[in-house]
Amino acid sequence: MRISLQRFLKDADERVRDACAKVLNQAAKELEVQIKSNMSAQGIQSRSGRLRASVTATTATAQKPAVVVRSEVYAKLPKRPGKNRRLWGKGSIRYPSKGVAYGRILEFSPRYQKAFFYPAWYKLKNQIKEDIIDEVGKAWSGK
């Protein structure tokens, strides 16, 4: 049976929750470094400075033992989005309000296919899980 970390830590004391937050923050930093390394290996460097700088992680605390690693950089919207609408037929294409997230385009588009996040996550996923289990176990037993 699988159980979420937040549900597992629901009745844990502060010491266990602090240990978990510490491991999560350390893992997030390692993941950021690996993602940026993957970006360099894929050639995402000079023109995508904003993309590299935008890779950040939230900080886990004892009250909220969760980390979100994100990269939110948006390409600008076209100046005249309706200009070529006649070429698309009668349907309308709606652009996202913030613009197009170009990290997702680089990662998933068949044209570019320069994955940087998922290879880093797959490489570190098992190690992060083991580290969390070890640290929470040590804190729980009082060692």
Mean pLDDT of 93-111: 74
Mean pLDDT over all residues of the chain?
81
Hey, which residues does 74 pair with through a beta bridge? Answer: 101
pLDDT of 95 reads: 65
Residue 57: strand, helix, or coil: strand
CA distance 129 to 24: 10
Angstrom distances, CA of residue 54 to CA of 19, 36, 69, 73, 104:
27, 10, 10, 7, 13
Query: What is the band of 109 on the pLDDT scale with cuts at 50, 70, 90?
Result: confident
Least confident range from 7-21, 40-54, 113-127: namely 40-54
CB-CB contact of 55 with 28 (8 Å): no
Question: Which of the four pLDDT bands, split at 50, 70 and 90, describes residue 7?
Answer: confident
Range in 54-58, 108-112, 114-118 with the lowest mean pLDDT: 108-112
Q: pTM, whole model, 2 decimals?
A: 0.74
Domains in the chain, number = 1
Owning domain of residue 47: 5-141
